[in-house]
Chains A and B, each alone.
Chain A
Amino acid sequence: MSRLDGKIAVITGGSSGIGLATAQRFVQEGAYVFITGRRQSELDKAKALIGDGVTTVAVDSTNSADQDRLFATVLEEKGGLDILVVNSGRVEPEELGKITEENFDLTFDLNARATLFTVQKALPLMRDGGSVILIGSVAGYTGINGYTTYSATKAALRSYTRTWTRESKDRGIRFNTLSPGPIDTPIMDLQADSPEGADAIRAQFAAAIPLNRMGRPEEIAAAALFLASDDSSFVAGAELSVDGGFAQV
């Protein structure tokens, strides 16, 4: 079915995981999607998976000139924008006492600073009634060991959507935060030495989640589709947590 027929979407960090799953779902629903990522080789792989209906733009989200080029491309090819999903982000856990200035700066630069300027540069292209989705995290309102810096950046995104909802009142643009909990992505396997080790990490997460399992990227994509579509036409300035109940109960 086609909930997003004729819509133009930009998804940052769209070459893998949640961003890729969201791009695939949006294209299936009739949208034309621009995905960004730093490496063209990864973008090419994503494009091969998605098929028609997608343009890739190699972008380092922290680079202002790259962002200008992205939105110039969107304007030139499609003339405007209906949906923006800001998904690019990084996490490098470090506990207080061992936090490096370098990690702090890199994390805030990409997660918090680049998100703001991505939205600011996209805004002139956004059509009235559009939808902006910031990918937050339940870490933004939960204490998790080692997540000082990452969690603070995600709390910042939650705050952005509140302010921007008010500031965009006259244009009917809806800003919402979509906050995933523990999601099973290929990164899981990279964190462990063996498949058994990765399964042990999954089991550890599952034990802490009411639904007793990690989430799938497709499940975040389905929630992003909800927030992007008119199904959520009265949902604004809100946070939708998709976490199997992990941080809810």
Chain B
Amino acid sequence: MANPTVVRDLEGKVALVTGATSGIGKAAAIQLAAQGAAVIVHGRDADRGAAVVAEIENGGGSARFVGADLGEPAEALRLADEVGDVDILVNNAGFAWFGPSAELDAKTLDQLFAANVQAPYLLVSVLAPKMVARGDGVIINLASRAGTVGQPNTAAYGATKAALASFARSWAAEYGPAGIRVNAVSPGPVYTNAAEREVFDSLGETTVLGRAGQPQEIAEVIGFLASPRASYITGTNVAVDGGRAGT
């Protein structure tokens, strides 16, 4: 459910949100659609994708689903080709593995980096040059406070998220002269999984605001960064974490 004060400041724009069938990605897809963008909902599960598309269409928005397994480089490149021109790219898809470093096997480590780091890179390698040719575009990478703060059990996941924040800085410098803006967003604890509500409740207590965030609260920051309201913001990493980690 988008904020009732939402402004349609993305009319005529096409947005690709990866990992948009649940959690923050789903909220972001709905938010960008409410702002007027035609949204390409990416995910792996066609049924869940259809449900998000239906929710957007029922709200008067425009959306379509494109499936791809972004753990496979060929699939990432196929997705980039299939979507054509996009004005707004939200690199949200990814997965987390939390635990002692000694227990992470090489295959899972490779998969983490393939999905969280390589896929966004490949998408940008195809889509950003087309944005440059049009002289307009916005890229938003979902990083995490785990990418800036040291804590147990997050070494590999945190490294993938730090890479996304680094990408945002590098791409801001690389594509900025062509008018392309690139930023990262670093959520703190967010209720992304109903089954783990109690885990997020206790993580939320460690934030300064004393609660975990809702996916919608991250989506609104994404909606802001995607819009002309953020026209002079690029290369940043915006903390949306209830004050748990500054920038």
Which A residues are closer than 8 A to B by beta carbons? 1-3, 5, 162, 165-166, 169, 172, 174, 181, 209-212, 215-216, 219-220, 222-223, 225-226, 229-245, 248-249
* B161 contacts the other chain (CB 8 A): no
Q: How distant is the Cα of A11 from the Cα of B191 in the complex, in angstroms? A: 35
Q: How far is the CB of A111 from chain B (nearest CB, A)?
A: 20
Q: How far is the CB of B88 from chain A (nearest CB, A)?
A: 17
- Would A249 and B224 be within 8 Å (CB), given that A169-B210, A216-B232 are in contact? no
Say yes or no: A211 contacts B247, CB within 8 Å. Answer: no
Of B93-101, B104-112, B238-246, the stretch lying at the interface with chain A is B238-246
Known: A211-B176, A249-B169, A249-B173. 7 other contacts (CB 8 A): A5-B5, A219-B232, A229-B5, A235-B238, A242-B230, A245-B234, A249-B170
A-contact bits for B207-247, CB 8 A (1 contact / 0 none): 01110011001101101100011111111101111110011
Q: How far is the CB of A22 from chain B (nearest CB, A)?
A: 13
- Would A237 and B217 be within 8 Å (CB), given that A219-B232, A248-B234 are in contact? no
- Would A233 and B217 be within 8 Å (CB), given that A226-B224, A238-B247 are in contact? yes
* B127 contacts the other chain (CB 8 A): no
Which residues of A sit under 8 angstroms from B243, Cβ to Cβ?
A: 165-166, 174, 236-238
Say yes or no: A219 contacts B246, CB within 8 Å. Answer: no
Say yes or no: B220 contacts A232, CB within 8 Å. Answer: yes
Say yes or no: B231 contacts A219, CB within 8 Å. Answer: yes
B3 in complex: contacting residue of A166, A209, A231, CB < 8 Å = A231
* B177 contacts the other chain (CB 8 A): yes
Say yes or no: A223 contacts B176, CB within 8 Å. Answer: no
Q: How distant is the Cα of A220 from the Cα of B231 in the complex, in angstroms? A: 9
Nearest CB to that of A159 among chain B residues?
A: B246
Which residues of A sit under 8 angstroms from B230, Cβ to Cβ?
A: 222-223, 226, 242
Which residues of A sit under 8 angstroms from B217, Cβ to Cβ?
A: 233-234
* B26 contacts the other chain (CB 8 A): no
B169 in complex: contacting residue of A5, A172, A235, A248, CB < 8 Å = A248
Some 13 contacts from A to B, beta carbons below 8 A apart, are A210-B172, A210-B173, A212-B176, A216-B232, A226-B224, A233-B217, A234-B240, A236-B242, A238-B240, A241-B247, A243-B233, A244-B232, A249-B235
Say yes or no: A242 contacts B221, CB within 8 Å. Answer: no
Which residues of B sit under 8 angstroms from A223, Cβ to Cβ?
A: 229-230, 232-233
Which residues of A sit under 8 angstroms from B221, Cβ to Cβ?
A: 231-232, 234-235
Q: How distant is the Cα of A232 from the Cα of B208 in the complex, in angstroms? A: 15
B223 in complex: contacting residue of A172, A210, A231, A242, CB < 8 Å = A231
Say yes or no: A248 contacts B229, CB within 8 Å. Answer: no
Q: How far is the CB of A147 from chain B (nearest CB, A)?
A: 20
Q: How far is the CB of B207 from chain A (nearest CB, A)?
A: 8
Which residues of B sit under 8 angstroms from A233, Cβ to Cβ?
A: 217, 220
Q: How distant is the Cα of A231 from the Cα of B240 in the complex, in angstroms? A: 11
Say yes or no: B173 contacts A225, CB within 8 Å. Answer: no
Say yes or no: B224 contacts A248, CB within 8 Å. Answer: no
Say yes or no: A239 contacts B246, CB within 8 Å. Answer: yes
Among A162, A181, A226, A248, the most chain B Cβ lie within 10 Å of the Cβ of: A248
Q: How distant is the Cα of A206 from the Cα of B235 in the complex, in angstroms? A: 16
* B42 contacts the other chain (CB 8 A): no
* B83 contacts the other chain (CB 8 A): no
